[in-house]
Copies of this chain bind each other. A is one copy, B any other.
Amino acid sequence: MTILLVLLTFILGLTAVGYAWLVYRKMMAVGIDDPRVAELSQIIHKGAMAFLKKEYTWLAFFVGGVFLLLLGMWKIGFGAGPAFAFLLGALCSAAAGWLGMYVATQANGRTTSAAAKGAGAALDVAFSGGSIVGMLVVGIGLAGIAVAYLFLSVKSLAAFGMGASSIALFARVGGGIYTKAADVGADLVGKIEAGIPEDDPRNPAVIADNVGDNVGDVAGMSADLFESYVNSVIAAMAVGFLCTDLYNDGTALGLWGVAFPLLLAGWGILSSISGCLLISTKVPYLEKGVDWVLLHAEKIERVKKILDRIRGGDAAFALRVGIFVAGGKMIAGAFILSLLCFFTKTFHVFLAVTSGVLAGVLIGFVTECFTSSDYAPVKDVAQASETGPATVILSGLSLGMKSVLFPVVLICLATLISHALAGVFGVACAAVGMLSITGIALSVDAYGPIADNAGGIAQMSQLSPEVRKVTDKLDSIGNTTAAMGKGLAIGSAALTALSLFIAYAQAAELSAIDIMNPGVMVGMLLGGMLPFLFCSLSIEAVGRAAQAMIEEVRRQFREVPGIMEETGKPDYEKCVEISTNAALKEMVVPGMLALVCPLLVGLVLGKAALGGLLGGAIVTGVMLALFMANSGGAWDNAKKYIEEGNFGGKGTPNHAAAVVGDTVGDPFKDTAGPSLNILIKLMTVVALVLAPLFI
């Protein structure tokens, strides 16, 4: 029975991969007319793949080393399971990242070409690229978990998550450093010192900058969400297997507790696919089926109106409808699955899942309120530019610090409600609920950088400004919708970390982690300190990498003859190489921090202190992640708001002040902030895998 259910999950995972394959075939059928566009797309593609290749070579040593270490622990009761699960997790994450990046860098030039034909065509291509990335992540993730569970054991699953998390942390940090170093180098020397526009082909760092968007926003984000998705499912399986809270007779949920999260995630894949099909209907083989369904649905007047609006090319509306349809199906499916798995406790589990989904959506809404220029907070930051850069910084910092209030309260409410209904298993299921529609959420997230890249290519190929306008519009729509994705990511990170934390306590045979115990309190202080140290290290790494890039770009402007007159060709590859090497070198120390600290504290101060370390890291990690992401987002959008002509507009001292804010915010929101989500889960999952060592 269980084997059948797990096989079913595996097939659902493959379905997502199959869907991605169909969309890929359709997308590749779109031609690139302009040879210059094709060439640039190819250069970016090569640069991005070269980075990944180099990164994976480095990581191969790391993964191999950890694999051997885990295998070496075979004799002390670990068995061989964790070692192979770790390897599988790392490989799956790497495969999802590699394939996603491959597709995204094929989609950018095609989107540029399509944009020349209109917004609808461009949306179709860009969203196709995004949905391939999204579906690959969830498909490979779920299929991987199913394989690990079938061939290894529940206990080994944590090591699968650890593999995914380690790759994710390095990819996020490395990608974040790469993209910001290239961005700062291109902007500071190109835009400000040489006075040429953004994405100008004369700028030596322009290719590195466009490669960086893919490395950071596609590969980094894919690895990040792969990790979130996989760990939420694994955490739920781990606590579900042992959970005795749900039924009053004291029996553990056992296999049903393992199967439910898998099925929930599997149903999420189907829901995501149906949402994606609404946004972009022309998928080979599926097309006819979709047409048939829509033909019948159109008979309802209300549905017809919605479909007409989507077909009319309202991209923002289409994305929103797609997500809502997926979310609605998801919640309906959660009810049916709860009924099937936990007959007498249907409502308990269902409402726990729903509380997670609602909290995620509301956190997304709050995030939007604090980071979109449609609302007062960002306008206040923009207004602060009238008294100079210092007040822009202060208002952005205080906005970020204030913005932690509501998300934390929502996370707390979801925790309390889901725990009251279905124990720790409920908390874990709330996180799975939040992330079950990762497929479509990531599609929406990933299509943004594709559109952005398409715009860059248009600019560099000197196409008509109309093309750029189309891609800019698509990009900005994606940014707004992506706020919900961010909310789901941070909310689920907190809930998943809590579930993994409980799983660690169970695995380490801890009956309580008492903060009155000074060892635990010391662990908490050390754990609370780590996210601060991590942020400092990654911000400094960005600074050093950017410095190296600035010097190279300055050197080229100085030494390459005729670069400004477009008679001499800048050395793009050199800049790509600098970003690549700097990112790889700088990602090592912050990445290792997360792996070494739990091990050290566990060995030196004991398993209870390690529990305290994890608790402290979760608390400050969640706060800093929210603070940095929202401050960074607000500065970014305040700058854009001024560029739209408010508070003086471009070229004024106000704009210069806002640019300072944006520059400070870049490593906040693109390097340190998003990595913290991974950091706290990686530390917890490392502790969980190594728990037998500390008993």
Contact = CB atoms under 8 A, between A and B. Distances in A.
A398 B502 contact: no
Contacts of A389: 389-390, 660
Interface stretch (A14-22, A163-171, A248-256, A407-415): A407-415
Contact of A528 (B393, B535, B612, B623): B623
Interface stretch (A85-93, A153-161, A516-524): A516-524
A525 B619 contact: yes
A642 B498 CA distance: 47
A616 interface: yes
Contact of A513 (B394, B412, B515, B664): B515
A182 B115 CA distance: 55
Copies in the complex: 2
A254 B528 CA distance: 35
Given A394-B664, A539-B401, A664-B394, A516 B510 contact: yes
Contact of A515 (B395, B402, B611): B611
B622 A623 contact: no
Nearest to A397: B539
B415 A536 contact: no
A526 interface: yes
Interface in A364-415: 384, 387-391, 393-395, 397-402, 404-405, 408-409, 411-412, 415
A388 B405 CA distance: 32
Given A398-B536, A627-B532, A498 B512 contact: no
Contacts of A520: 515
A188 interface: yes
Given A416-B518, A512-B514, A537 B402 contact: yes
A620 interface: yes
A401 B397 CA distance: 14
Given A516-B513, A518-B419, A529 B623 contact: yes
Given A390-B663, A394-B539, A620-B620, A404 B522 contact: no
A206 interface: no
A72 to B, nearest CB: 30
Given A395-B543, A402-B536, A521-B615, A516 B505 contact: yes
A519 B514 CA distance: 13
B612 A515 contact: yes
A529 B408 contact: yes
Contacts of A498: 518, 521
Contacts of A411: 525
Contacts of A535: 398, 401
B539 A398 contact: yes
Interface in A534-565: 535-537, 539-540, 542-543, 547, 550
Interface string A178-205: 0000000000100000000000000000
Interface in A404-460: 404-405, 408-409, 411-412, 415-416, 419, 424, 427
Interface in A597-616: 611-612, 615-616
Interface in A466-503: 494, 498, 501-502
B388 A522 contact: no
A93 to B, nearest CB: 28
Contact of A525 (B394, B408, B515): B408
Given A389-B390, A394-B663, A514-B514, 5 more contacts: A384-B543, A390-B659, A398-B543, A402-B533, A408-B525
6 contacts: A389-B389, A394-B542, A416-B519, A501-B516, A525-B622, A528-B623
Interface of A: 188, 384, 387-391, 393-395, 397-402, 404-405, 408-409, 411-412, 415-416, 419, 424, 427, 494, 498, 501-502, 505, 510, 512-516, 518-522, 524-529, 532-533, 535-537, 539-540, 542-543, 547, 550, 611-612, 615-616, 618-620, 622-623, 627, 659-660, 663-664, 667
Would you list the 6 A-B pairs with minimal beta carbon distance, nearest first? A401-B536, A390-B663, A528-B619, A402-B536, A512-B514, A398-B539
